[in-house]
Structure 1
C-alpha cells in the first residue's frame, strides 16, 4: 500500500483496498491500475502531498511529466486509473472532490494496431521448429497453435480446462472465457486439432476441470496440476521464437493479430472475425487487420528495387 494512503485515516485505507477488490474484477486491469496508482502516489508523497491536498494542478503536472517519457496510451491508462480511484474516494467520503476531473490526457488516435504480426511463413517456421518428441514440445506447440488458430487472448488460452473441449456436429470445439466475462466457442482448425490431440495423448484427461495447459513438475519431469499463467506463456513464446531463428519480435498477442489477418486475407469478413475474436464491435477488430502491412512491404520492395 502506498505511503500516502497508509498515512491517511482508516477510512482511506479501507476504501483503497475495496477499490481493488470490489470495484475491479479483471486481474489484468487490477494489476495495471495498481501499478499506475502506486506510481502517482509515490510521486505525490515525494512532493509532500497528501490524499486530500492533491489538486488538479498537481495531477496535470504529473500527467505532463509522464507524457514526456511514456506512450500516449500508457499515459491515458494512468490517468484513467487515478481518476477512477478518486471517484471511489469521493463516494467513500475520503476526499470532498476528484482532483482529476478537469485534467485532460494526451490526444491519441490509432487506426492500425502496433502488435507485431507474423506472416504465414513465419508462423509456419515457428510451429515447425518445435519438437514433438518431448512433453514440453507437444505442450508448447499446442499452446502456440491454440493462440494462432482460435484468436484467443493469452489469458483465455491458459484459462481453458480439459472439459472445455467438446465434440459437436462432427467437429471439435473449445469454450473460451474472454475479456469482460464473454463466453464463446470456436471450432478447432484441423491442424490445431492434431496438435491438441498429440498433446492430450501424453497427459491425463480424465479430470474435466484440470487445466489444459499445465506447468512441468521440476522434480519428476512430468506435468503438474498447476495452470500456466500469461507470464509462463510469454516465456514459452520467447524461448521458442529464439530457437526458431525468427527475427520478428513476437508476443503472445502476435498470434491473435496474425490469425485475424490471415483469416481476412483468405476472404473472411471483418464482421465474422469480430465474432470469432469476441470483440464488441468491428472497429476493435480492424486494429488487428494488418493487411496494409503486407501492402507496405510490397511498396518497400518495389521502391528498393527501383532505387
Structure 2
C-alpha cells in the first residue's frame, strides 16, 4: 500500500475501532477488505483516493465475481468499500463518493442456516449428555441453552459475566457491538441449566485454574478455569451437533439465526426481534421474515378454498 492510501486507511481504522467502538473482529474484517481493494486499485495504477472512479469500483466487484466469490462475500466487501469512501469524503480526501451508486450484486441476501425447533431440541438434549453432572457437561448445556434463549453473538456469550445474569428476574444483560448494552429475557429452560451449572459446575472449573487470581467474573469458564474463548464455543457447538446427528452446517451463529427465525414464526414482530438481537437497523433483521417453501405450501393448502 502506497502513501496515498496509508494515512487515510489508518485514520479509517481508528475511526471505526475507537470513535465508533466496533468489535475487534469487525475492524479486522474491514481492514482486510480495504487492503485487498487498495491492492487491486494499485495494480491499475491508482495510488490516490481521489483518482478512483465509479467504474473502478464496479470493475472491482466484477473481478470478485470472476474470482468465484459468493454473493454474500461480495456484498460484505462492497459494504466495507462504501464505508471507506464515505469516510474519505468526510475527511475531504476526495471530492465525491464514487462508490455511493454502486449496488450490491443480486443474490446477496442468501438466507442463513437455520435449525428447526426439533433440531434445536435434539441439540440441547445432546448437550445434557444423559443428565451427566460433569462440570464441563453442565457448562455446555448452560452455554447452549443461554445462546438459544438470548440469540446472542458468540462474543456476547464469551463476554457475559456473573453479574450480567439475574435468574430471579429471568434477565440477561448483553454487551453488543459498539459497547451497546441490551437486556434480553432468559427462558425457564436456560435459567434451570445455568442454575445447575452454577450450583455444581462452575466452582469446580474455577478451582482448576492455575492463575494466582482466579476468574471471578466470567459466567462461562473453560476446562482450565479461565474465561471461555470463541474457538471453544465453536468446538462445543460442532461436537454437540455431531452427537445430536445434525447434518446441517452448524456454528454458533446458527443458534442466533434459529432464535430469530423461530420468534418470527411464532408471531413476534420484526421490531421486537431487532431489539432482542441488538441490530442497529431493522433491515438487517428482515432477513428472518422469509417464508420457507414448506410453510408456503402448508398455508396455501390449509387456507385456499380450492386448494384440495
TM-score normalised by L of structure 1: 0.76
- Give the 3-state SS of the residue equivalent to 2:112 in structure 1: coil
Pairing partner for 1:62 from 60, 63, 76: 60
Counterpart residue number, 2:210: none
SS of 2:288's partner is coil
Q: Distance in 1 between matches of 2:142 and 2:111?
A: 25
Aligned counterparts, 1:57-136, within 5 A:
57-68=55-66, 69-89=68-88, 92=91, 95-97=93-95, 100-101=98-99, 104-108=102-106, 114-130=111-127, 131=129, 132-136=132-136
Paired residue total: 283
**Equivalent in the alignment of 1:138:** 138
Are the equivalent residues in 2 in contact too, given 1:238–1:250 (CA < 8 A)?
Answer: yes
Paired with 1:23 and 1:273, the residues of 2 have a C-alpha distance of 26
Is 2:53 the counterpart of 1:29? no
Shift of 1:123: 0.9
Q: Quote the offset at 1:59 in angstroms.
A: 2.7
Match of 1:213? 220
* Aligned position for 2:190: 192
In 2, the alpha carbon distance for the partners of 1:197 and 1:81 equals 42
Query: For the residues of structure 1 that align with 2:284 and 2:90, how far apart are their CA atoms?
Result: 32
Partner residue of 1:17 out of 7, 10, 16: 10
Change (3 A) 1:208 1:117: same
Distance 1:100 1:192 in 2: 49
Please name the residue that 1:177 is paired with: 175
Structure 1 residues 48 and 214 mapped into 2: Cα distance closer, same or farther (>3 Å)?
farther
2:306 — aligned with what? Answer: none
DSSP 3-state at the match of 2:174: strand
Distance 2:176 2:41 in 1: 36
2: CA distance between counterparts of 1:281 and 1:14?
30
**Partners in 2 of 1:155 and 1:278 — Cα distance?**
13
- Which residue of structure 1 lines up, in the alignment, with residue 229 of structure 2? 228
Between the aligned partners of 1:66 and 1:197, the Cα distance in structure 2 is 49
Q: Flag structure 1 segments of 5+ consecutive residues without an equivalent.
A: 218-222, 300-307
Question: How much has 1:193 moved relative to structure 2?
Answer: 0.7
TM-score by length of 2: 0.76
Q: Which has the higher helix share?
A: 2
Q: Indicate if the aligned counterparts of 1:59 and 1:103 stay in contact, CA closer than 8 A.
A: no
Label 1:196 to 1:282 Cα distance change in 2 as closer, same or farther (>3 A). Answer: same
Distance 1:126 1:136 in 2: 16
Q: Is the 8 A contact 2:170 2:188 kept in 1?
A: no
Distance in 1 (CA, whole Å) between partners of 2:255 and 2:271 is: 19
Give 1:163 deviation, angstroms: 0.8
1:175 is paired with a residue of what secondary structure?
strand
- Cα deviations across residues 267-296 of structure 1 (Å, max 9, x unaligned)? 544454344333456554442245535415
In 1, the alpha carbon distance for the partners of 2:91 and 2:185 equals 46
Partner Cα separation in structure 2 for residue 266 and residue 196 of structure 1: 25
Classify 1:87/1:122 alpha carbon distance in 2 versus 1 (closer, same or farther; 3 Å): closer
